[in-house]
Structure 1
Amino acid sequence: MTIKKEPIHAGEFLLSEGAGNISRETINVAAGAALYSGQILGLVTASGDFAPYDPVAEDGSETAVAILYGSLGESDIVRRARAVVRLAEVSEAHLTGLDPDAEQSLATHFLIVR
């Protein structure tokens, strides 16, 4: 018997968000590996593109500022995506890259981890 595991759906990490589209923005994500819905993102200062949160980086991505809404495939060019950037409650179990520093940083954007 083959067991199939269903991947996380776009926005599945959201518990609640602001009315209308106030919680989400269209963003540019730096080229790189595939990313999944719920990935914590930082903002690369030099390019203005978002990248996976990396607490040891020194390019701006060491500060968590957003959460990727839907999955992205691997790419060697900048990708367009949607991210939750403010006013939302999110499920800790559905986030990728979360650590205590990221949780505190997200809270400054009113992204509350439950």
Structure 2
Amino acid sequence: MATKTETQHTASFIVSEANGNRSREEVTIKSGQNLAAGTVIGLHSGGDYAAYDDSDPASAYGILIEATDASSAAKNAAVLVRDAEVVEAEVTGEDANAKTDLASIIWR
């Protein structure tokens, strides 16, 4: 029997968030990115949102809520940015600097 691997589900990394949409914002993911839910998103030097990379003087902006395929064109996406708790093991791309940038998010 073939083995199946379950991928990250939309918002599965969120433990809790503020009421309504207070914890979320919409951003436009830069073209050329195919990102999984739970990826840390950075605001890069050109004003573009893409996967966080501490080597590009980027600051972490939030955590992508749903998988977003912007490989052929820029795409809008919801990002968790404040007043929330997340499961650290289900978030990708975070480092100490990202956690500092995302200080209003609690990492469990």
TM-score scaled to structure 2, two decimals? 0.92
For residues 86-97 of structure 1, what are the structure 2 equivalents within 5 Å?
86-97=82-93
Measured on the aligned residues, the alpha-carbon RMSD in Å equals 1.3
Secondary structure of the structure 1 residue equivalent to 2:89: helix
- The AA in structure 1 aligned to 2:2 is T
- The AA in structure 2 aligned to 1:6 is E
- The AA in structure 2 aligned to 1:112 is I
In 2, Cα distance between equivalents of 1:111 and 1:74: 25
- The AA in structure 1 aligned to 2:60 is A
Gaps in structure 2 of 5+ consecutive residues: none
Taking only the aligned residue pairs, the percentage that are identical comes to 39
Secondary structure of the structure 2 residue equivalent to 1:37: coil
Gaps in structure 1 of 5+ consecutive residues: none
In 2, Cα distance between equivalents of 1:52 and 1:29: 9
Number of matched residues? 108
**Partner in structure 2 of residue 31 of structure 1:** 31
Compute the displacement of 1:44 (Å).
2.5
Measured against aligned partners, the alpha-carbon deviations of 1:37-92 in whole angstroms (never above 9, x if no partner) come to 0000111243x33111001013xxx2111100000125232111111111101110
TM-score scaled to structure 1, two decimals? 0.87
- C-alpha contact 2:11 2:65 (8 A) present in aligned 1: yes
Runs of 4+ in 1 over 6 A off after TM superposition: none
- C-alpha contact 1:89 1:111 (8 A) present in aligned 2: yes
In 2, Cα distance between equivalents of 1:83 and 1:111: 12
**Partner in structure 2 of residue 66 of structure 1:** 62
